[in-house]
Amino acid sequence: MRKLISIFIALVMIALAIFIAIMLINRKKPQMTALKKSMPLAYTEIVKNKDMPVTIPASGSLVAKNKIQLFSEVQGVFEESDKDFRAGEKFAKGDLIYKLNSDEFYTNLLAQKSSFQNLIVSIMPDIKLDFPDSFDNWENYINEFDITKPLSDLPKPLTDKEKRFIAAKNIYTNFYTIKNLEIKLDKYTIYAPFDGVLTIANVNPGTLVRPGQSMGEFVDTGVYEMEVSINSALASKIEVGDDVLVQNLEKVEEEFHGKIIRKNAKVDLGSQTVNIYIELRNNNLKEGMYLRALLKSKVLKNIYQIPRNLLVNQNEVYTVNDSVLQLQSVELVYQNAQSVIVRGLEDGQTILSKPVPKAFEGLKVSVSN
């Protein structure tokens, strides 16, 4: 009987030991599972650097390349124009924009020319006597003299003595005085130097116009310039002569083609940008329009593009090595609102493709490609 009891007790103890062992094993599994679940999931990608150009968006407003502020340099009554002198009126090249009455000035000019003609006639006997070799030249000049036409150039003196004689008689002084008056006479009449539009008109026909008074503004509506700013680091990758695609911000489907015509050599101290100037030729454009230019750089070597939210401390990214996060410094080549282009990563490196919440260097992660 005692032997049976001993056997029973032994069996119970063995069963109890097995039960306890099973319980201990089951308790360790949840802990390990919990430990695994506590490791954050990291989505990754393999780096493969590329050689490619970068498209740089930049916005700016249009300014007419050929624009003339019309100011009167003379005084006179506004007399006529080939078109209505009003804002919005178009003028073809060579059209009369405006003419001021010049009757009084013109009459005075004719009187000055007549006096000059008499002055030359008065020295002809002396020229014939003292400078016979030059007499025919001066006689031809007098014979062809017409006070209603612009003055012709004076005969060239053959000797220094003749030159001093002509100067002493105030021939040169009177000649250049009249030439100056002829230039001033032209300022009473203004012609369109190119096809354009009168964008501002400040006077009406019949108005007395005084020297220095603003008449208006005349603009070439076919050629415009657009000033944009780009990062100074990429300025060397943009060349004068490059073609540029330009979009209307209000109508994205409306596109224009421009060309880079100038590049500033100065870097703006505050923004660290360089101004680029784009020329556009299109009659559908208007001064003041705000457009977006898409500038394409030269090919940049060995670069890689990542989402902007993966950039850490402005110049670092997380790499993944043996399931551990590590920070690596990179060179920032270009950035926009959504992405950044960097240089400094090696082909084949593993980096994050999505941010890991509360990431830090040395964090162990569960990697998912």
Q: Residue 195, exposed/middle/buried by CB under 10 A (0-12, 13-18, 19+)?
A: middle
Q: Between the CA of residue 188 and those of 66, 97, 191, 211, 215, what are the distances in Å?
A: 22, 11, 10, 11, 12
Q: Residue range 259-278: average pLDDT?
A: 92
pLDDT tens-digit readout, 86-98:
999 999 999 999 9
Alpha helices in the chain (DSSP H): 2-38, 103-130, 132-143, 160-168, 171-186, 232-235
Query: Binning pLDDT at 50, 70 and 90, where does residue 19 land?
Result: low
pLDDT tens-digit readout, 43-74:
899 999 999 888 888 999 999 999 999 999 99
CA–CA dist 236, 359 (Å, integer): 36
pLDDT tens-digit readout, 198-226:
999 999 999 999 999 999 999 999 999 99
pLDDT at site 128: 94
The closest of 213, 211, 220, 171 to 193, measured between CA atoms, is 220
pLDDT at site 192: 96
Residue 268: its H or E element: none
Residues ≥6 apart with Cβ < 8 Å to 20: none
Please, are residues 86 and 218 in contact by the beta-carbon 8 Å criterion? no
Query: Binning pLDDT at 50, 70 and 90, where does residue 8 land?
Result: low
Query: Binning pLDDT at 50, 70 and 90, where does residue 334 land?
Result: confident
Q: Residue range 185-199: average pLDDT?
A: 95
2 or 332: whose pLDDT is higher?
Answer: 332
Query: Binning pLDDT at 50, 70 and 90, where does residue 31 land?
Result: very low
pLDDT tens-digit readout, 109-156:
999 999 999 999 999 999 999 999 999 999 999 999 999 999 999 999
Q: Which fold has domain 67-102+188-219?
A: OB fold (Dihydrolipoamide Acetyltransferase, E2P) (2.40.50)
Please, are residues 92 and 192 in contact by the beta-carbon 8 Å criterion? yes
Residue-averaged pLDDT of the chain: 89
State percent of the chain over pLDDT 90: 66
Backbone angles phi, psi at 360, to 5 degrees: -150, 160
DSSP 337: S
pLDDT at site 96: 97
pLDDT at site 137: 95
Measured in residues, the chain has a length of: 369
pLDDT at site 49: 93
Sign of the four-CA dihedral 284, 290, 292, 298: positive
CATH architecture of 41-54+300-368: Beta Barrel (2.40)
CA–CA dist 311, 305 (Å, integer): 11
- Cα first-last separation, the chain: 68
Lowest-pLDDT range of 70-84, 183-197, 287-301: 287-301
Return the exposure string of 235-268: e unless at least 16 CB atoms fall within 10 Å of the residue's CB, then b.
bebbeeebebebbbeeeeeeebebebeebeeeee
Angle at alpha carbon of residue 137, lines to 136 and 138, rounded to 5°: 90
Q: Between the CA of residue 250 and those of 254, 255, 280, 289, 290, what are the distances in Å?
A: 9, 11, 18, 10, 9
Please give the order of strands across the beta sheet that includes 96-100. Answer: 189-191, 96-100, 76-80, 208-209
pLDDT at site 35: 45
pLDDT at site 34: 45
CATH code for the structural domain at 225-296: 2.40.30.170
The distance of Cα 216 from the centroid of its chain, to the nearest Å, equals 26
CA–CA dist 74, 315 (Å, integer): 63
Please, are residues 196 and 219 in contact by the beta-carbon 8 Å criterion? yes
Nearest-10 crossing angle of helices 103-130, 132-143: 160
Q: Residue range 186-194: average pLDDT?
A: 96
